[in-house]
Amino acid sequence: MQDEAGAPLIAAHDTPTPPHTTPEPSTGTPATGGTDPVASRRRRMLFLLMGATAVVAYAADQVTKIWAQNTLTTGEPVNVVGDHIRLNLIRNAGAAFSIGNGATWVMTLVACGVLVFILRTARRIGSSAWAVALGLLLGGSLGNLTDRMVRSPGPGRGQVVDFIDYFGFFIGNVADIAIVGAAAFIALLAMRGVGVDGARPHQGRHEAAAPDPQGGGTAHV
Count, residues in the chain: 221
Report the distance separating Cα 87 and Cα 71, nearest Å: 10
Report the distance separating Cα 70 and Cα 14, nearest Å: 95
Report the distance separating Cα 81 and Cα 50, nearest Å: 33
Residue 210 CB neighbour total at 10 angstroms: 10
Report the distance separating Cα 90 and Cα 153, nearest Å: 15
The secondary structure element, H or E, covering residue 7 is none
Q: List the catalytic residues.
A: 162, 176
